[in-house]
Amino acid sequence: MANQLFYIATAIALLAVVVAFLRLLKGPDPTDRVVALDGMTITSISIITAAAFFLGRVIYIDVAMVYALVSFLGVVAIARFIERGL
């Protein structure tokens, strides 16, 4: 029962990534695309943690942490470039 709930949650998060990706393809300005990238990465961290739960390997959570750190640095670098040219 509980496992099915986690499968449903992962499917909903997957749908959320797809919906946010549409804004990345559509957004009129690069800033919209960075917002979509930010939302996609935070949702993807949840999906990675769910995968760690399904596959039963704790090291995937470390990968999720590196992923969060790198995506944060990337977003800050792009925003700084937009604001005053890196």
Min dist CB 3 to other proteins, Å, is 8
Contact assessment for residue 44 and residue 65, using Cβ atoms and an 8 Å cutoff: no
- What would the x/- binding string for other proteins be over residues 22 to 61, using CB under 8 A? xxxxx--xxxxxxxxxxxxxxxxxxxxxxxxxxx-xxxxx
Q: How far is the CB of 56 from other proteins (least distance, A)?
A: 9
Q: How many residues bind other proteins (CB under 8 A)?
A: 83
> Where in 56-75 is the site for other proteins (CB under 8 A)?
57-75
CA nearest neighbour of 76 among 45, 19, 38, 36: 38
